[in-house]
């Protein structure tokens, strides 16, 4: 089984012995890889669609039969039993969808979370900080031309202050080539936004785009 850099970055945040809930697991590749490396021995694997869930069952049976896995057809946390997991991973989705899943999960989502948004990481950070979650760490990884961020957070009940640039760059900004690539990606998107704002006359949007570009250049 091929384990991508993105999956490895997610794995690196999972403590040994954790009872993992993999929300939207798709083909169960994350819990299988963690089991094969000896990090976990049991997992709750959930997906909103039966097809991917069945694929995950076959993969576990073929690749890691020693994994004690419960498979749950569920929209987010809805059908998952509270207390059956220590940590939840919600990865490979848009940031807005991840925020919705956490919000709908209520108390079930108030556990340590590993989140990997494919888009709209700014919206996800905003939701977390405004709804009692503390972002403890962010890691960045490159795969080809794609750059991903992986967020580790937990629920404290206390909302956090943040700046506009924090929404896009996070508060944890490692001095790494991967974060520099992430900053370049944000700058490129902001430059496109700035061009559009210049045409439409959106002065507020232009100022926001210029702010992102200026911050990004501090890191590359």
pLDDT in tens, 66-92: 999 999 999 999 999 999 999 999 999
pTM attached to this predicted model: 0.95
**Contacts of the segment 196-204: beta carbons below 8 A, 24+ positions apart:** none
**The pLDDT value given to residue 3:** 86
Report pLDDT for 184.
Answer: 97
Phi, psi of 91 (to 5 degrees): -135, 155
pLDDT score recorded for residue 55: 95
Which residue ranges in the chain fall short of pLDDT 50?
A: none
Looking at the chain, the domain(s) classified CATH 3.40.50.150 span 5-169
Superfamily of domain 5-169: Vaccinia Virus protein VP39 (3.40.50.150)
């Amino acid at each position: 089984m091929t384990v991508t850099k993105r999956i490895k970055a997610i794995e690196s945040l999972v403590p040994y012995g954790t009872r993992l809930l993999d929300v939207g697991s798709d083909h169960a590749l994350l819990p299988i890889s963690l089991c094969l490396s000896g990090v976990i021995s049991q997992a709750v694997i959930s997906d909103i669609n039966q097809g991917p869930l069945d694929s995950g069952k076959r993969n576990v049976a073929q690749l890691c039969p020693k994994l004690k896995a419960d498979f749950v057809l569920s929209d987010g946390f809805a059908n998952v039993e509270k207390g059956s997991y220590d940590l939840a991973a919600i990865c490979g989705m848009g940031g807005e969808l991840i925020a919705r899943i956490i919000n709908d999960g209520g108390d079930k989502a108030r556990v340590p979370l590993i989140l990997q948004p494919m888009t709209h990481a700014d919206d996800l950070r905003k939701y977390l900080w405004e709804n009692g979650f503390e972002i403890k760490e962010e890691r960045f990884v490159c795969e080809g031309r794609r750059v991903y961020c992986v967020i580790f957070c937990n629920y404290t009940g206390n909302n956090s202050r943040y700046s506009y640039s924090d929404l896009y760059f996070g508060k944890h900004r490692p001095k790494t080539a991967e974060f520099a690539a992430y900053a370049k990606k944000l700058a490129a998107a902001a430059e496109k936004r700035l061009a559009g704002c210049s045409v439409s006359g959106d002065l507020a949007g232009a100022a926001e785009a210029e702010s992102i570009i200026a911050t990004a250049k501090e890191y590359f």
